[in-house]
Amino acid sequence: MKYLIALYVMMMLIVFVNLISEFMLGGRYSAIASWIICMLFFFGTIFFANARYYLSKNGK
């Protein structure tokens, strides 16, 4: 369950960064926000792969 919560938090951070960039900052820092979103996606993918490995190892 903690893996699901962590992935949901990662998704919330991506949406939050996007909303801050577009609505509060008017798109002035959209390139920086895009890099932050890419890094969050990358770390989320690593976390997902790690959780999948850990869960498959414990399932056997």
Q: What is the reported pTM?
A: 0.78
Mean per-residue pLDDT over the chain, rounded: 88
Q: Residue 21, class by beta-carbon neighbours within 10 Å (0-12 exposed, 13-18 middle, 19+ buried)?
A: buried
SS3 sequence, the chain? Answer: CHHHHHHHHHHHHHHHHHHHHHHHCCCCCHHHHHHHHHHHHHHHHHHHHHHHHHHHHHHC
In which residue are the tokens 């699901």 written?
4
**Percent of the chain surpassing pLDDT 70:** 95
| 14 vs 58, higher pLDDT | 14
Q: How many domains does the chain have?
A: 1
Domain housing 2: 1-58
Residue 49 pLDDT > 80: yes
pLDDT for 13-33, tens place per residue?
999 999 999 999 888 888 999
| CB of 48 closer than 8 Å to CB of 7 | yes
